[in-house]
Amino acid sequence: QAHLVESGGGMVHPGDSLTLSCTPSEDSLVIYANDIMGWFRQAPGKGREFVAAVTWRNNKKFYVDSVKGRFTIYRVAAENAVYLQMNSLKDEDTAVYYCGRNPTGEAWYDGSKYGNWGQGTQVTVSS
């Protein structure tokens, strides 16, 4: 199964910014109008947590409360890509960030609805 490729992670200080990107690994992975693209994260010793999602058709966006006002998810349809702009990063944002595709068009918060997961990209926020 084709998967998504995440990139853009790194080690930064609190207050810094990063932009993560997510693109299909091959052309056979098509993002359809009904899809929802989402970012999740997994911190050490914790489960995978929803971060943000965007509907491909009408660009509706959803965020977990802890990142509202700091993170922005956006899609570039022409590139078949999804980005996560992360500002004012905090220590608690440290995690591996994953991008997934939800073909059901619903339950944007539910990781079990997503697939085509990539290997993730590590974000470390530390002073």
pLDDT by residue (tens digit) across 63-95?
A: 999 999 999 999 999 989 999 999 999 999 999
What is the mean predicted confidence (pLDDT) over 10-35? 94
Query: Are the C-beta atoms of 11 and 89 separated by less than 8 Å?
Result: no
What is the mean predicted confidence (pLDDT) over 87-106? 97
Q: Give CA separation, 35 vs 1, 11, 53, 81, in Å.
A: 17, 31, 10, 13
Q: Is the pLDDT score of 1 beyond 80?
A: no
Q: Which amino acid is at 21?
A: S
